[in-house]
Amino acid sequence: MINQNDHEQNRMVSPQENSEEAAFEKSLRPKKLTDYIGQNKVKKNLEIFMQAAQKRGEPIEHVMLHGCPGLGKTTLAHIIANEMSGNIKVTTGPTIERTGDLAAILTNLEDGDILFIDEIHRLNKIIEEVLYPAMEDFALDIIIGKGPSAKTLRLDLPKFTLIGATTRMSLISAPLRDRFGATFKLDFYHDQDIETIIKRNAEILTTAIDSAASSQIAKRARKTPRVANRLLKRVRDFAEVKADGKITETLAKQALNMLEIDELGLDEIDRKILTTLITKFSGGPIGLNTLAAATNEEMESLEDVYEPFLIQLGFLNRTPRGRMATKLAFTHLGFTPKTNQNQNNLL
């Protein structure tokens, strides 16, 4: 049986990274902030933040990066490490299972190192508490013994920088949030920036691509670099097999149509979600759990993976009474919009 996670992983436009493409993505990753395309506000602030620390001769303060999957949080963490000339150690919230795991990571760091914790919202509460003195005082508190005779031993840690990344800022506790010197939010990219990323990456891959072809791929890449890179890779395969390897507009369109990704980047699952909402629930409002049951998707995947892009497109609204399909969604999928619908953004 295919589980939900496999389902999501096999999806051509999933913003989640699958294991094979990690190496591919790594090879395309920009190393300097000036090569990082888009997210101008973040770049400007980050540049000042890094320069100020460099002037003081100190490591930068802890940084929190948040935004939807695939927008380049990991890439940015590597860039920060590179620009600050520090080593980067990468881990994830769910893989740190015991306080001892975190203690081992922290005691192996050196001054100026970057510790990158992806999915930091999934860190267990007890482990999170070990992070507080580590972040604030560069100290690790070890409790020796039990009961009334228990003692706390404080170990000094090197002056490191923690970079936390999360797709769910609302799940970060206030004490953890407050210990970050800066928080940067990554937004969905403009299509123009996605197009530039595609052109840059095609060049790195030594694949010839027309401007019109990169524009076609960009339009369907859900404003997400990871999706753009995956589509580029598939279109490149298609060009190598069906033609001479050069990606033209016609060829890109053929490849993308074969992958059943429409001109806005919606795939079969997006269409299923919206069609279910429209045909079974008259466009909503409907609760998240009902929508999950009716579409056979997990609530968490709906919230974190599918919905953000549908909301961004203006196809779905999260209202206090539940999810609603907008007039734009009705029209895009070929349904007649309801005339008496109280859809605040479009009617």
Residues that are catalytic? 73-74, 118, 167, 226
Interface with ligand ADE, residue 79, by CB under 6 A: no
- Residue 138, Ramachandran bin (φ over 0: left; ψ between -120 and 50: alpha; else beta): left
Residues within window 7-36 making contact with ligand ADE, judged by CB under 6 A: 29-30, 36
Nearer to ligand ADE (CB atom), residue 69 or residue 225: 225
Q: Pattern 212-251, binding to ligand ADE, x per CB under 6 A?
A: -------------x--------------------------
Nearer to ligand ADE (CB atom), residue 180 or residue 189: 189
Nearer to ligand ADE (CB atom), residue 67 or residue 225: 225
Closest contact distance (angstroms) between CB of 25 and ligand ADE is 7
| Contact residue for ligand ADE among 96, 197, 227, 291 (CB under 6 A) | 197
Nearer to ligand ADE (CB atom), residue 99 or residue 229: 229
Q: Pattern 32-51, binding to ligand ADE, x per CB under 6 A?
A: ----xxx-------------
Interface with ligand ADE, residue 265, by CB under 6 A: no
Give per-residue burial for 228-244: e unless 16+ CB within 10 Å, then b: bbbbbbbbbebbeeeee
Strand partners, 66: 166, 185
Closest contact distance (angstroms) between CB of 2 and ligand ADE is 28
Closest CA to 294 of 273, 323, 318, 271: 273
β strands within the chain, DSSP E: 63-66, 88-92, 114-118, 139-144, 151-156, 161-166, 182-185, 316-319, 322-325
d(CA 208, CA 239): 10
Closest contact distance (angstroms) between CB of 112 and ligand ADE is 25
Interface with ligand ADE, residue 72, by CB under 6 A: yes
> For residue 12, which phi and psi values (nearest 5 degrees)?
-65, -35
Closest contact distance (angstroms) between CB of 51 and ligand ADE is 20
Interface with ligand ADE, residue 167, by CB under 6 A: no
d(CA 309, CA 316): 9
Nearer to ligand ADE (CB atom), residue 63 or residue 197: 197
Q: What angle in degrees, to the nearest 10, is found between the helix axes of 211-219 and 225-242? A: 130
Chain-centre distance for alpha carbon 150: 42
Closest contact distance (angstroms) between CB of 40 and ligand ADE is 10
> For residue 227, which phi and psi values (nearest 5 degrees)?
-70, -40
Q: Which residues bind ligand ADE (CB under 6 A)?
A: 29-30, 36-38, 72, 75, 197, 225
